[in-house]
Structure 1
Amino acid sequence: MNAARLGKKRGEQLSQVLMGLILILFAFCCLFPMYLVLINSFATEASILKNGYQLIPEQFSLEAYKSIFYAGSPTLKSYGITILITVVGTAIAVVITYMCGFSLANENLKYRNGFSLFFFITTVFNSGLVPWYLICRVLHLYNNIWALIIPSLIFTPFNMFLTRNFIKGVPSSLMDSARIDGAGELTIAFRIYFPICSPVIATITLFYALGYWNNWFNAIMLLDSSELYPLQMILFKIQSDLSMLKDLTNVGLSNTVPTESFKMASAIVTIGPIVLLYPFLQRYFTEGLIIGAVKG
């Protein structure tokens, strides 16, 4: 009996060690590309063109970051615009999505299955780019800050169904008891259910924030004024200007234009805030994604 227990204990220890090694390998595979991007963003253009992406660059330079944050650069302003549209757009989109998911999870709502089917159809069929553009123009969502917020504000059905499924997993007796105590629908939704739904709220918040942070399509389609360009659009323009400058210079001078290192630096500048935000939402993100996907 003791030998069997000892063998079982050793087997468990071996499995834990093996699982730890697998996790370490997986973490390395995730972190190694990020390290290469970070370290080579400080490399000179000549070093990258000569040796490729190295673990330790032959020569270091800040030219790539100077190309982004030069004197009079619109990058800082575009950073502020991107933060603004991300915070405002995400907050409103999360509230709309939560309210819709809460309503569809309510068994007392008439035709809730029909509404769910209506939302599901939008995941299969798309009206197209031209109607979307014409509607934005009719609503005066053109060349103003709202053009970067409202067209992306309407919640995605996936996030709505994720929220609905999570809420359906909460015992309905909680809602019934709140109604008996005299609570209204808004009180039940935001004072009782909203704190319980923090995992799925964190999940859809991250989804919406990523969408707004990386959105450059609205700027291309709906903006003429460069004063309102978000971060992604500004970096795209700088990259285009550097590529054009490199094409115009002769061979002897082309290596001084930091096009390759600029790509690495722009990646660091854009993903930095998201990388810092994700650890705070990771626990809720995983729980909300799993529970919301399997319940209902």
Structure 2
Amino acid sequence: MLAHLAIGLFSFSCVYPFLFVIVISLTDETTLAKNGYSIFPEKWSLDAYAYVFKTGDQLLRSYGVTFFVTVVGTILSVAIVALYAYAISRNYFRFRGFFSFIAFFTMLFGGGLVPSYIVATQVLHLKDTLWALILPMSVSAFSVLIMRTFFRTMVPDAIIESGKIDGAGEFRVFFHLVLPISLPGLATIGLFSALGYWNDWFHALLYIDNPNLLPLQSLLMKIETNIQFILQNSTVASTTERASIARSLPAETTRMAMVVLATLPIVFAYPFFQRYFVQGLTIGAVKE
């Protein structure tokens, strides 16, 4: 009983901050300025969401861009990382040391922002394309090394040998024998990759000028910048005008509403990946 109570309290402590953010986003701005943060505000309001949704179709387009980039980018990233890591995890692969060094070297030394920008825009011509938001993050050296270790420690050699005895090639062994028991590792790097793509705004700042290709995080940053600009420039007005602007602009609640809009959809990805965590732990086990 005490254990269940402790687990329940711990779970509630994890969920409470996000619930608190939702409550703040639904609080009237004047009430928030007067009484401060409260889990039970005196007055509720949807002004923050109304202000955000004033962007109209732009918000829906940005959601669509972010969903597309996240789904396609995650699938591409997991595929590349899994194939790369499996190759360098096999002792019979002649160049495993060389490719392992290439992956590890990129974790210590990077080419820098300018060479990356030149390659993306002048060599690959990714400017103002969705691939500019996908390809730069498609390969993670850290994920490659994690999956290499996973394949070495969690995939028994007996499985691979049994497949080869039955006449299966490398790709058949990988897709039919290795992947089914590697779902926990794949779910882990897939979750990290999905979070990275969903929260990415920097590549859009570099490569995207077309507003129709603007992802959600970049759009929300622009809304936040506009709010700050209005508030800062209201200082040149008289005290009465400045107070009027501050009252009509739901600055703080809009920030919380943007957190909700940016976080809530990706929260639903966790149960999806959790299913594969459990499934990967229960199938294809080999006792040696």
TM-score, with structure 1 as normaliser: 0.86
Shift of 1:108: 1.1
Cα distance per residue 1:62-102 (max 9 Å; x no partner)? 11111122263411110000000111111111100000111
Shift of 1:262: 0.7
Match of 1:4 in 2: none
CA contact (8 A) 2:24 2:256 kept: yes
* 1:218 equivalent among 186, 203, 224: 203
Match of 1:206 in 2: 191
Inter-partner Cα distance in structure 1 for 2:91 and 2:280: 22
Residue-pair matches, total: 272
- Secondary structure at the aligned position of 1:74 is classed as helix
CA contact (8 A) 1:202 1:288 kept: no
- Secondary structure at the aligned position of 1:178 is classed as helix
Match of 1:293 in 2: none
CA contact (8 A) 1:242 1:259 kept: yes
CA contact (8 A) 1:94 1:201 kept: yes
Inter-partner Cα distance in structure 2 for 1:245 and 1:133: 32
Inter-partner Cα distance in structure 1 for 2:133 and 2:127: 9
Pair 1:241 & 2:226 matched: yes
Inter-partner Cα distance in structure 2 for 1:210 and 1:252: 39
Pair 1:142 & 2:127 matched: yes
- CA RMSD, aligned part only? 2.0
Inter-partner Cα distance in structure 1 for 2:169 and 2:118: 39
Pair 1:251 & 2:281 matched: no
How do residues 1-296 of structure 1 correspond to structure 2 at under 5 angstroms? 17=2, 19-70=3-54, 72-138=56-122, 139-153=124-138, 155-168=139-152, 169-249=154-234, 250-253=241-244, 254-282=246-274, 284-285=276-277
Shift of 1:124: 1.4
**Aligned AA for 1:193?**
V
Extract unaligned runs of 5+ from structure 1. Answer: 1-15, 290-296
**Aligned AA for 2:230?**
L
Inter-partner Cα distance in structure 2 for 1:251 and 1:164: 59
CA contact (8 A) 1:203 1:288 kept: no
Match of 1:12 in 2: none
Inter-partner Cα distance in structure 1 for 2:30 and 2:93: 65
Inter-partner Cα distance in structure 2 for 1:63 and 1:145: 32
Identity of counterpart residues, as a percentage?
39
Inter-partner Cα distance in structure 2 for 1:60 and 1:147: 41
Inter-partner Cα distance in structure 1 for 2:109 and 2:279: 30
Shift of 1:245: 2.5
- Secondary structure at the aligned position of 1:127 is classed as coil
Cα distance per residue 1:128-184 (max 9 Å; x no partner)? 11111111112101111111111111x212211221122112111211121121111
Shift of 1:195: 1.3
**Aligned AA for 1:76?**
L
Shift of 1:285: 4.9
**Aligned AA for 1:49?**
A
**Aligned AA for 2:88?**
L
**Aligned AA for 1:233?**
S
**Aligned AA for 1:260?**
E
Match of 2:237 in 1: none
Inter-partner Cα distance in structure 1 for 2:252 and 2:157: 56
Inter-partner Cα distance in structure 1 for 2:162 and 2:16: 52
| Segment drifting more, 263-272 vs 24-33 | 24-33
CA contact (8 A) 1:105 1:165 kept: yes
Q: Cα 1:43–1:281, aligned 2, differ >3 Å: closer, same or farther? A: same
- Secondary structure at the aligned position of 1:107 is classed as coil
Inter-partner Cα distance in structure 1 for 2:140 and 2:197: 13
